[in-house]
Structure 1
Amino acid sequence: MSETRLTEAQYDAITEAAAQWCMRVHEPDCTDREREAFAEWLNADPLHAFEYEAMLDIWDVSEHLQQPLPMAAGVVQKLPVARRKRWQTLAVAAAITLIAAPVAAYSGWQLGWVPSSYQRLQADTQLKTVTLPDGSEVELNLGTQLTFANYKDQRRVTLNKGEAFFKVSHDVTHPFFVRAGEGQVRVTGTQFNVWTYEDQVKVTLLEGSVLVTSNKRLSGEGLRLEPGMQARYKAGDYAPQINQTYANAQDLAWRNGKLVLDNLSLSDALPLINRYLDTPLVLADSATGKLRIGGVFNTQDIDRLVTSLPKVLPVYLSISQNGNPVINGQPQG
């Protein structure tokens, strides 16, 4: 933050500049010279970067909005069907107006343009439990990042990375959506877990029911899960894969700080392990990936699991040119 104490007008000017830069650099016709000017402005003062990060949050929120008919209070006009980026720019402008004008904020809420509340949540090295403004409760695993926005007609969570367990406050008229990867989960009131790693997503349902889609751009409500069911999908999947499961120690042990590997192949175990590592493990070959591992491990000390692998499996560790630890199978004599 800047050490100089700014007047309200000076601070507002920085906020407005951050908003204008946020909208401009997301336009396809933004020139290289403009991007250089933006970089100079961004590096000129830590407060500039701070305010720009806040505008990126608003930009992220705007991606969730549907294109409305009213452009502003008292003005009715249809938006062009094309130019999704143009609509997002308008949404950012509306959200910026929210900051500056309470009357406009109320109009934006009534139209479903802007949320009444917005939160960015993060758990780094400790588990975290948070009660959202709607009364829902969310538990965040280590290394998890998500955002919550409360709109007039829906509640919206974006799980940017990591894993979270949700206890959603029941409200049929105000559905709760969780965006994860390229898909989403729709609920009204239930308990479920969402795990993500790279482009993989796994949804485990404990209570109630949810609708899961693997691609939010496809039509249809998605596939319904009942308690004891699990959905998996990755980028490019047309529909989630559904299977019967149970709320067992393996799926939810993280809530107690544990990672349970129940006789899994290394290829299946690595995504679960790598979630907790700064530098992910890689396999030397597919044959090594077929080796199986089991045990209960502390999520705060997964590095110890890595170093112990040669003691429990016929493998040795090496370092790749990229700096990743590599699991290699021992040569067979």
Structure 2
Amino acid sequence: MNQTSLSAAELDAITDAAAHWCMRLHAEDCSEQERAACAQWRAADPLHEQEFQAMQEIWQTADHLPRPAAPVITLSARPRGRALRRLASAAAVALVALPIGAWVGWEQGWLPNSYERVESGNAIARAVLPDGSEVELNLNTTLRYANYKDERRVTLVNGEAFFKVQHDTQHPFVVRAGKGQTRVTGTQFNVWKYQDQVKVTLVEGSVLVSSNSSDPDSGYRLGPGMQASYRRGDYEPALSQTYAHDTSLAWRGGKLILDNLPLDQALPLINRYLETPLLLADASTGSIRISGIYNTTEVNRLVSNMPKVLPVYLTRNKNGDTVLNRISPPPRKS
């Protein structure tokens, strides 16, 4: 089924059907026959499955709702009207299924009254969130926005984003990344995430950064020009001061700048743009330093060119991953 050939009414009908099946699968009296019928409907067309997964995402923002073990499918961006239409359908079925629970969920801060997924592909993307905040997304970045009664919540699923937050003292803006979070009321800052590593760079205003989102009040407050880094298991974030020519935000101009970094620090920045990560053979290889300015859309060329500019050679391990190996210097003559 070609989505572009469908009318608005036909697309809405698919969204309504996805909402119906989502509601039935969460119902206690859902029969095996209904589950089979739902599976048949989802398999009938990729768009059915896409809409169903989008509906699941909305339902899953409420922690107290059951979460089936269906795989999450990356969705392509849609016009805002479609997202709102989907949200309205989800809200409607939620009110049918949980007439009291839905209201209590909002009042208790469990359920959002708006939800949006934003993602970029192979180009930098910009979006305005429902609260008026602006966000700029680096390549291959995905985030989710949900508006709760007590906070505006963003989850940075992967990638990197620069935020200009609409000021609202009574309604904090929280960005969750990895196991930590950044809490603000109105400011400009950047969040970078690769695997379990996270770095927050503050440009303007003030933010509170915690390495543990379950205890957000234990964080550290940053001033302009400061950075906080953390990864899974860190008790507290590591703080640093940026220098005048810091390159953390060079990606906004489409550049990756490596300023005399050892490879063990440069590789997370490089791997961020690769389909499969580049690995180090050992700590000695990781100590080699690299410099250069590269286009973020062409970082894959950097890998093949490394042996031309660094004392390294490339091999593949048993999993097929590319590995950097240091070329040992010849022994010194006695």
Q: Which range, TM-score by smaller chain?
A: 0.7 to 0.9
How many residue pairs were aligned? Answer: 301
Distance in 2 (CA, whole Å) between partners of 1:10 and 1:282 is 44
Contact between 1:19 and 1:55, CA under 8 Å: does it hold in 2?
Answer: no
Equivalent residue in structure 1 for 2:258, among 258, 261, 265:
261
Q: Is 1:238 aligned to residue 242 of structure 2?
A: no
TM-score, L = length of structure 1: 0.79
Contact between 2:19 and 2:90, CA under 8 Å: does it hold in 1?
Answer: no
Contact between 1:98 and 1:108, CA under 8 Å: does it hold in 2?
Answer: no
Contact between 2:163 and 2:188, CA under 8 Å: does it hold in 1?
Answer: yes
Q: Is 1:123 aligned to residue 120 of structure 2?
A: yes
Per the TM alignment, residue 256 of structure 1 is displaced from its structure 2 partner at its CA by: 0.2
Deviates most, 43-52 or 260-269: 43-52
Contact between 1:2 and 1:46, CA under 8 Å: does it hold in 2?
Answer: no
Instruction: Tell me what 1:61 maps to.
Output: 61
Contact between 1:123 and 1:145, CA under 8 Å: does it hold in 2?
Answer: yes
Instruction: Tell me what 2:76 maps to.
Output: none
1:278-305 residue CA offsets vs partner (Å, 9 max, x unmatched): 1110011111110000111110100111
Change (3 A) 1:44 1:269: same
Instruction: Tell me what 2:22 maps to.
Output: 18
Equivalent residue in structure 2 for 1:155, among 123, 148, 152:
152
Instruction: Tell me what 1:88 maps to.
Output: 65
Amino acid at match of 2:247: Q
Distance in 2 (CA, whole Å) between partners of 1:331 and 1:97 is 61
Alpha-carbon RMSD across the aligned residues, in angstroms, is: 3.4
1:137-177 residue CA offsets vs partner (Å, 9 max, x unmatched): 10100010001112232111100000000011111011100
Contact between 2:43 and 2:49, CA under 8 Å: does it hold in 1?
Answer: yes
1:27-63 residue CA offsets vs partner (Å, 9 max, x unmatched): 9xxxxxx999976664344344123211331144224
Per the TM alignment, residue 2 of structure 1 is displaced from its structure 2 partner at its CA by: 8.5
Q: Is 1:179 aligned to residue 172 of structure 2?
A: no
Per the TM alignment, residue 320 of structure 1 is displaced from its structure 2 partner at its CA by: 1.9
Contact between 2:106 and 2:112, CA under 8 Å: does it hold in 1?
Answer: yes
Gaps of 5+ in 1: 28-33, 64-86
Secondary structure at 1:250's aligned position in 2? coil
Amino acid at match of 1:318: T
Instruction: Tell me what 1:296 maps to.
Output: 293
Per the TM alignment, residue 213 of structure 1 is displaced from its structure 2 partner at its CA by: 0.9
Per the TM alignment, residue 270 of structure 1 is displaced from its structure 2 partner at its CA by: 0.2
Contact between 1:139 and 1:166, CA under 8 Å: does it hold in 2?
Answer: yes
Distance in 2 (CA, whole Å) between partners of 1:19 and 1:126 is 36
How do 1:1-333 residues align onto structure 2 when only pairs under 5 Å count? 1=1, 12-21=16-25, 23=26, 42-63=42-63, 87-89=64-66, 98-100=91-93, 109=106, 112-218=109-215, 220-246=217-243, 248-333=245-330
Distance in 2 (CA, whole Å) between partners of 1:56 and 1:101 is 12
TM-score, L = length of structure 2: 0.79
Distance in 2 (CA, whole Å) between partners of 1:275 and 1:11 is 34
Instruction: Tell me what 2:78 maps to.
Output: none
Deviates most, 235-244 or 54-63: 54-63
Gaps of 5+ in 2: 29-33, 68-86
Secondary structure at 1:89's aligned position in 2? coil
1:206-227 residue CA offsets vs partner (Å, 9 max, x unmatched): 1111111111112625211111
Change (3 A) 1:13 1:153: same
Distance in 2 (CA, whole Å) between partners of 1:176 and 1:231 is 17
Distance in 1 (CA, whole Å) between partners of 2:46 and 2:201 is 42
Secondary structure at 2:227's aligned position in 1? strand
Secondary structure at 1:172's aligned position in 2? coil
Per the TM alignment, residue 259 of structure 1 is displaced from its structure 2 partner at its CA by: 0.4
Change (3 A) 1:8 1:252: closer
Secondary structure at 1:259's aligned position in 2? strand
Distance in 2 (CA, whole Å) between partners of 1:283 and 1:292 is 13
Per the TM alignment, residue 248 of structure 1 is displaced from its structure 2 partner at its CA by: 3.8
Among all aligned residue pairs of Structure 1 and Structure 2, give the percentage whose two residues are the same amino acid: 55
Amino acid at match of 1:89: P
Per the TM alignment, residue 6 of structure 1 is displaced from its structure 2 partner at its CA by: 6.8
